[in-house]
A and B are shown apart, each in its own frame.
Chain A
Amino acid sequence: DAGVTQSPTHLIKTRGQQVTLRCSPKSGHDTVSWYQQALGQGPQFIFQYYEEEERQRGNFPDRFSGHQFPNYSSELNVNALLLGDSALYLCASSYGLGTGVGTNQPQHFGDGTRLSIL
């Protein structure tokens, strides 16, 4: 049973560039959430996707956008990269957002993508 997988594992970009990160959810999961984790801090919620739509969003600018595909996999896009975007980007999957009890279902995390901005 494959868990949550993310790619790439590491990425180095320069200021102003754009980046796309990818996530495949755990088998049987239909909801994907993205988080940004700066060094020494807790994960910060970016947004959540279900049925190919953004359902919830945290306090992140429009430079952060995403997409969910019919197979439930997801992408996180960040435009006009800033030095402050350097962080570990985590994807988490869960099941059942559409059932009305999705907010209290366990989220399982991938290993993350370490993004460094020079």
Chain B
Amino acid sequence: GENVEQHPSTLSVQEGDSAVIKCTYSDSASNYFPWYKQELGKRPQLIIDIRSNVGEKKDQRIAVTLNKTAKHFSLHITETQPEDSAVYFCAANGGKLQFGAGTQVVVTP
């Protein structure tokens, strides 16, 4: 089955700096890669997703890149703000949506 690894587990950045989270997956059949943001005590919220026929996707300050050959994908947040502080999860779907363990992002003013 699919195995998704996510790094780092925690990430502290200064406001205005960039944050990068990296994930790898094992199942070559996976074709859909969403990213979720989960604030404390709240539901996971989809922030961006990418499908296997695309290498990069951007939405304002958030971008995701996908390397199918290497089986890894990354989330990039530019110009970070305190409200970006949350746990971020990557996931891969090849029939079942499998999540990474999460990255706790802390943006300090």
Contacts and interface: CB of A to CB of B under 8 A. Distances in A.
Sort chain B's interface into a size bin: 20 to 34
A111 interface: yes
Contacts of A95: none
Interface of A: 33, 35, 40-45, 48, 56, 58-59, 90, 92, 103-112
A43 B44 contact: yes
Contact of B44 (A33, A56, A90): A90
Interface of B: 1, 6, 31-32, 34, 36, 42-46, 49, 51-52, 89, 91, 93-102
A112 B36 CA distance: 15
Contacts of B42: 111
Contact of B94 (A48, A103, A112): A103
18 contacts: A33-B97, A41-B102, A42-B6, A42-B89, A42-B100, A44-B99, A48-B96, A59-B1, A90-B44, A103-B94, A103-B95, A104-B51, A104-B93, A106-B49, A109-B36, A109-B45, A110-B43, A112-B43
Nearest to A43: B99
Contacts of B95: 56, 103
Contacts of B100: 42
A42 B32 contact: no
